[in-house]
Amino acid sequence: MYLNNNEDSQLFTGKSLRLGGSKELYKENGTIFGDLSAILIDNMPFWAEFSSTPSNRVSLMSDWEIKMQAIVDETIQENVTSLAGVPSWMLVLLNQVLETTKKTNLFEVWPNLEVYFHGGVSFVPYIDQYKAILPRNTFRYYEIYNASEGFFAIQDQNNSNELLLMLDYGIFYEFIPMDTYDTPEQKIIPLSQVEKDQIYAVVITTNGGLWRYKIGDTVRFTSISPYRIKVSGRTKHHINVFGEELIIENAEDALKKVCKETEAEIVDFTAAPIFMKGKEKGAHEWLIEFKKQPKNLEVFNQKLDRTLQSLNSDYEAKRYNNITLNKPTIHIARPRLFYDWLKKNNKLGGQHKVPRLSNSRHYMEELLNLNSI
């Protein structure tokens, strides 16, 4: 699809820098296990390695921090024309490339770089940071939506954030409207009954053996003919303690808008509820790691609150005159907090992600405790 949309592409004149996970040997029975990306790399035909970098030996290293520098050392001399990987971890790698080479942007390292194929997490919080190190208007970003369970959708147009649902990849799709999800009234509908701009949990039956499997993602249809979607969040990663129905899409869109207005840049974030206690009303608590902090955190907080209300009528209703929710609380995370939390929990690299929203305070309490160290 990318090549069809870009006939002057020089993609195959160079190599693709792939950032995958790791695999290990389960010693008791000799079974190989690991991230999907690592399993795919390990099972590609031998000739595929000639158009990819780094080598399989480096790509499949299990120690993430050693692996990152090894990738930098092996790839900075290559003619890299494309990037492929999860945005959060790819950004760490690319900044390490710039630090090692002492260059100001990636085109000084790889002048023929033309496209980044990304997926795994939303690209919204990272787009400005990528544009800063890839300052070329002709550079393309293409999103891919796949998981261990299957390959679901791909961006099929330049300069679009919509994904074309792939209907011929051995997957039968069904959907659960999120307003009935996990309730006695829950219903499952076929693809033919979905409606535009409605949010659904995805249910799949595959030729790989999955039967009516909930993959945990939610999507919003942006088009019915053809079927195009946006990934809106996770069924478990939302805040709905007070009936506010805050989803990841709301949070990321609001942060993107507020960061632009306040000239701030975000590395990562998480949010959780502050539960009602006695006569105290509830609220949302945010922990944000900034690459560039806003000049005034209170103004940032006010703008975030107002923007969330404009994006989510349920949140707006609960915030009206502080009827149920007080204004949000924002904490500034120390540098590398989320990286250190992932490292502490043995979740560096690969497909591991920071939970953005949660109905419990488990992740928030762990992160706040680590933030004070």
For 105-138, how does the pLDDT look when each residue is reduced to its tens digit (9 = 90+)? 999 999 999 999 999 888 988 899 999 999 999 9
Q: State the pLDDT at residue 21.
A: 74
Fold that domain 2-147 belongs to in CATH = Rossmann fold (3.40.50)
Of 40, 79, 76, 82, the C-alpha closest to 59 is 40
What is the phi-psi region of residue 363: left when phi exceeds 0, alpha when psi lies from -120 to 50, beta otherwise? Answer: alpha
Q: State the pLDDT at residue 290.
A: 96
pLDDT mean over 86-101: 94
- With a cut of 90, say whether residue 39 has pLDDT above it: no
The answer to whether 331 and 288 have CB atoms below 8 angstroms apart is yes
pLDDT band at 96 (very low <50, low <70, confident <90, very high): very high
Q: State the pLDDT at residue 154.
A: 97
- With a cut of 90, say whether residue 27 has pLDDT above it: no
pLDDT band at 41 (very low <50, low <70, confident <90, very high): confident
Mean pLDDT (the chain) is: 92
Of 78, 82, 77, the C-alpha closest to 19 is 82
The amino acid present at 307, given as its one-letter code, is T
pLDDT band at 28 (very low <50, low <70, confident <90, very high): low
Q: State the pLDDT at residue 350.
A: 65
Q: State the pLDDT at residue 38.
A: 75
- With a cut of 70, say whether residue 79 has pLDDT above it: yes
Q: State the pLDDT at residue 43.
A: 80
Q: Which residues contact 259 (CB under 8 A, 6 or more apart)?
A: 128, 265, 266, 294
- In the chain, what percentage of residues exceed pLDDT 90? 76
CATH 3.40.50.2300 fits 238-371, yes or no: no
pTM: 0.83
pLDDT digits (tens, 9 = 90+) for 182-206: 889 999 999 999 999 999 999 999 9
pLDDT digits (tens, 9 = 90+) for 327-336: 999 999 999 9
What are the strands, taking DSSP E only, across 63-170? 80-85, 115-118, 140-147, 150-154, 163-165
Of 133, 286, 340, 232, the C-alpha closest to 294 is 286
pLDDT band at 33 (very low <50, low <70, confident <90, very high): confident
pLDDT band at 352 (very low <50, low <70, confident <90, very high): confident
Q: State the pLDDT at residue 60.
A: 83
Question: Parallel, antiparallel, or unpaired: how do β-strands 140-147 and 150-154 relate?
Answer: antiparallel
* Interatomic CA distance for residues 69 and 181, integer angstroms: 44
pLDDT digits (tens, 9 = 90+) for 139-168: 999 999 998 899 999 999 999 999 999 999
pLDDT mean over 355-364: 93
pLDDT mean over 240-267: 94
Q: State the pLDDT at residue 23.
A: 64
Q: Break the chain into its structural domains and give their ranges.
A: 2-147, 163-234, 238-371
Q: State the pLDDT at residue 197.
A: 94
Lowest mean pLDDT among 244-258, 259-273, 288-302, 342-356: 342-356
Q: State the pLDDT at residue 182.
A: 85
